[in-house]
Amino acid sequence: MSGIFGVVSKGDCVETLFYGTDYHSHLGTEYGRMAVLGEDFMRQIHNISYTQFKSKFFEDCKRMEGNKGIGVIGTFDLEGHDIEDVSKYIDHNSDKYNKMVEWIRNDLRVTMLRYQYLEDMVAAIGLPKEKLCLYCWTGEYSKPKVKIEHKAESKSVNCY
Give the type of residue at 75: T
What is the domain extent for residue 10?
3-80
Do residues 11 and 29 lie in contact, with contact meaning Cβ atoms separated by under 8 Å? no
**Surface-to-core class of residue 158, CB atoms within 10 Å of its CB (0-12 exposed, 13-18 middle, 19+ buried):** exposed
Phi/psi for 76 (5° steps) reads -90, 125
76 plus 109 within the same structural domain: no
Residue 120 lies in a domain: no
Total number of domains in the chain: 3
15 plus 68 within the same structural domain: yes
pLDDT number for residue 15:
92
pLDDT number for residue 156:
45
42 plus 61 within the same structural domain: yes
71 plus 87 within the same structural domain: no
7 plus 76 within the same structural domain: yes
Do residues 41 and 53 lie in contact, with contact meaning Cβ atoms separated by under 8 Å? no
Phi/psi for 63 (5° steps) reads -100, -10
Strands 68-74 and 156-159: unpaired
**CA–CA separation, 67 vs 113, rounded Å?**
31
Task: Assess whether pLDDT exceeds 50 at residue 140.
Answer: yes
Q: What is the pLDDT of residues 77-97, one digit of tens each?
A: 544 455 556 667 767 788 888
**CA–CA separation, 78 vs 7, rounded Å?**
23
Q: What is the pLDDT of residues 9-56, one digit of tens each?
A: 888 999 998 988 888 777 657 788 888 888 888 888 888 888 888 888
